Amino acid sequence: MAELKDQLSLLGRHTEYKQDYAPDVLEAFDNKHPGNDYWVRFNCPEFTSLCPITGQPDFAEIRIAYLPDVKMVESKSLKLYLFSFRNHGAFHEDCVNIIMKDLIQLMNPKYIEVTGILPRGGISIYPFANYGRPGTSYEEMARFRMMHHDLNG
């Protein structure tokens, strides 16, 4: 395993906030317990993007939960990545899927799910996307959790 300081470039350094969607800020580090199944959860209660039609800000809470394998996402890079959606024109349903796919590409987790909790114009919307590594029990877990997902967030 490489040293953490050799794997990460953002932590402990000056923070630069990207002005538009920036998946390149995501960083991963080695999981010290790849043989264990355990949950890692993140909650971003102040997520914003721009409505692609009106250009107005859309506010949401984004929840991310995953079972890591060899790599894990570094939290500061995840925060900067999520902040990069601030000026990005996309519905939250799209953002939830983009976030999940970018994290899959970064880490190749065993399992991941991303949920949005969106109070929008007097109606709440709860997009949910998940993935389990194909050909494994995690793929079955993804099917099960999708079929039995609590749509109330």
Catalytic residue among 58, 94, 95, 102: 58
pLDDT of residue 153: 47
Of residues 131, 151, 150, the one with CA closest to residue 142: 131
pLDDT of residue 18: 79
Tell me the whole-structure pTM to 2 decimals: 0.87
**Domains of the chain and CATH, by start:** 27-147 (3.30.1130.10)
Catalytic residue among 30, 37, 51, 69: 51
58 in catalytic set? yes
pLDDT of residue 9: 67
CB 112 within 8 A of CB 75: no
pLDDT digits (tens, 9 = 90+) for 107-134: 999 999 999 998 766 788 889 999 999 9
102 in catalytic set? no
Task: Tell me whether residue 25 is annotated as binding.
Answer: no
Of residues 74, 71, 69, 64, the one with CA closest to residue 37: 69
Residue numbers of the chain with a pLDDT score lower than 70: 1-2, 4-13, 120-121, 151-153
